[in-house]
A and B are shown apart, each in its own frame.
Chain A
Amino acid sequence: MKKAILILLVLCLLPLPLTAGAEQVLNVYNWGEYIDKQVITDFEKEFGVRVNYSVYDSNETMYTKLMSGASYDVIIPSDYMIERLIREGLLQPIDKNVVTNLGCLCEGVLNMEYDPDNTYSVPYLWQTVGIVYDTTRISPEEMEEQGFSAFLNPDYKGHVYMYDSERDAFMVALKALGYSANTSDMNELNAAYEWLRNMDKAVRPSYVTDEVIDAMANGEKWMALVYSGDAAYILSENEDMGYCTPKEGTNVAIDAMVIPANASNPELANIFINYILEYETSLMISTEVGYASSNAQVLAELSGEGGDYEGNDAYLPRSGYSLDEIYHDIPEELRSQYSSMWIKVKLHE
């Protein structure tokens, strides 16, 4: 046994980093599986730096980690989280003398309400929330006709996946009822809560998170609430699947690169952000991940003729539709209400 421990010790000490002291380091914090790893390697080679790449699984875990005072150079949160970070003074402005590639960004991602002049954030990838459905079970016409109200259709009972996220679930209900996804009106929220309870009764959905991707790619159920970037992957794996962006309007989400106020290497962070925007890099990332690129040229090419996502209805997000909304940051009391109500929906109360 002593020998086993010894062998293990040697094994783990062998690859200890032999960091050269002079080397510049960039700490990047991103969602898991949300980049083409080659981009990092290429950036390191081109600029002779070392990138410390870490991952998180949600905006909220990332935010909690930031509260410990951890200092990252580039983070890629979503819109509403950027709004909160700006309000709390946790970000520093982007240096537009360095980040010169902003001109290549597509319409629909720039100058949004959470950061009106893109002072603090540079869009990375974006998406909508929509419905992936089995076209052999539900025809595209039927689906488009029903939109989000398909979640109330008892014919689909036992064949529905609902994404287990209170914010997205309430968005579906609020939109179906014709309200804003950012409402703080308790009457509207209670109506949404009733809507969700009816949904639970009518279709008895399975409440899932990321396992829905594999499950829908295998055609396990008829329909599911999915992010468009994941839907693009599902559609490329299973040709029976279709994607519907509901007519009632939905959530458009933008993940954007920001530099925290306590970043230790903001100069390099700006260089990195500009590098990501470049055509080649954006192409690699969007191709690998399946979420829509914020680079106009890449977006057009990937969804156009001969592109990797040609004919894939989920890749290109709907933009300029007046009923679509970006999430705003909502206060803690309201989030707590959401959580309590969502638990009751899931418990069939």
Chain B
Amino acid sequence: MKSFFRMTYPYILWIAVFIVAPMIMILLYALTKDGNRTLIFRFTLENFTRFFSDPTFMRVLFTSLRIALFTTVFCILIGYPAALFIANLSERAQTMMVLLLTLPMWINMLLKTYAWRGILMNFDNLESEVKVFIGMVYDFLPYMIIQIHTSIAKMDRELLTAAYDLGANKWKTFLKVTLPLSVPGIISGITLVFLPAVSSFVIPKLLGGGDYVLIGNLIETFFVTTGDWNFGSAISLVMALIIIASMWLTKKMDRNAKED
């Protein structure tokens, strides 16, 4: 199997240069002050203490996590049946559906959000929170559907037939065969929806009537408007750590549940 692992070398090199090296620089910024003015580093934890000493920032982070969580849940609830139904179509129709789902992603997100703003204007009685979720679910739903569909498409038909033959009904077959097989797809769907959703802020800002201050907005403000790369880096690292920790906990709980 060693020969297979060698296939990852190019990519390992790539992430070392283009992902790890930039992240180390971001880390350096988070641990210093005035880093973008002079080459003399002054190591400090000031940026982190500033973040944790002011409850505002944590509040903003938790609002973002909450919105991302709900978006992910809605995407699974709406996307799972869709993926399942697509997998039951003929092969050509499946390809067609996947293409039809991706096409809208090529239209600029900002533009589609402006369109939603226009559409939702006609529904004045909608809560702004509902509008935000419509926009967020809209943006991320195709990713979830495609991920889940990919994992259940071309699934062993024989497994299903066998299950039927053994007298299992549709519901039982789904629970015992299809669902377990689709778990990896759901997990990567969650990754693709939850992770970017935490830091996205344009949709909530445009559809929520400017009532949402989110972590992505905060980070961008400090990087660009304020020009305080040190604090911006610190916020983004805290966010990354909290997300990684929560994903890790989820996985651990998932594993524990399986062992039971």
Contact = CB atoms under 8 A, between A and B. Distances in A.
Are A and B direct contacts in the complex by CB distance below 8 Å? yes
Which of B224, B226, B231: most chain A CB closer than 10 A?
A: B226
Contact of B222 (A61, A205, A206, A336): A336
Contact of A332 (B95, B117, B218, B228): B228
B117 A58 contact: no
A348 B92 CA distance: 53
B60 interface: yes
Contacts of B36: 67
Nearest to A333: B228
B210 A335 contact: no
Contacts of B213: 343, 346-347
B227 interface: yes
A335 B117 contact: no
A64 B226 CA distance: 11
A287 to B, nearest CB: 26
A344 B211 contact: no
B221 interface: yes
B211 A339 contact: no
B169 interface: no
A60 B227 contact: yes
Size category, B interface: 20 to 34
A23 interface: no
A308 interface: no
B172 interface: no
A340 B228 CA distance: 12
A40 interface: no
Interface string B43-66: 000000000001010011000000
Contact of A344 (B56, B209, B224): B56
A332 B227 CA distance: 7
A33 to B, nearest CB: 14
B209 A339 contact: no
Contacts of A166: 225
Which of B36, B59, B117, B228: most chain A CB closer than 10 A?
A: B228
Contacts of A34: none
Interface in A321-349: 332, 335-336, 338-340, 343-344, 346-347, 349
Contacts of A343: 56, 60, 213, 218, 221
A207 interface: yes
Given A335-B225, A336-B226, A347 B209 contact: no
B237 interface: no
Contacts of A211: 114, 117, 206
B56 A349 contact: yes
A13 to B, nearest CB: 19
A206 B224 contact: no
Contacts of B228: 332, 335-336, 339
Which of B36, B54, B211, B221: most chain A CB closer than 10 A?
A: B221
B225 A206 contact: no
A332 B226 contact: yes
Nearest to A218: B121
Interface string B121-161: 00000000000000000000000000000000000000000
Interface string A151-181: 0000000000010101000000000000000
Nearest to A331: B227
Contacts of A205: 210
Interface string A179-205: 000000000000000000000000001
A332 B210 CA distance: 25
A335 B226 contact: yes
A208 interface: yes
Nearest to A220: B121
A60 B54 contact: no
Contacts of B56: 340, 343-344, 347, 349
Nearest to B95: A1
A229 to B, nearest CB: 21
Interface in B218-252: 218, 221-228, 231
Nearest to B208: A206
B224 A64 contact: yes
A203 to B, nearest CB: 13
A349 B114 CA distance: 29
B224 A60 contact: yes
Given A64-B224, A336-B228, A206 B54 contact: no
Contact of A338 (B209, B223, B226): B226
A253 to B, nearest CB: 16
A208 B226 contact: no
Interface in B88-120: 95, 114, 117
Given A60-B224, A340-B54, 16 more contacts: A64-B224, A162-B210, A208-B209, A211-B114, A211-B206, A332-B226, A335-B227, A336-B222, A336-B226, A339-B222, A339-B228, A343-B56, A343-B60, A343-B213, A344-B56, A347-B60
19 contacts: A60-B225, A63-B227, A164-B210, A205-B210, A206-B209, A206-B211, A208-B210, A335-B225, A335-B228, A336-B228, A339-B222, A343-B213, A343-B218, A343-B221, A344-B56, A346-B213, A347-B56, A347-B59, A349-B56
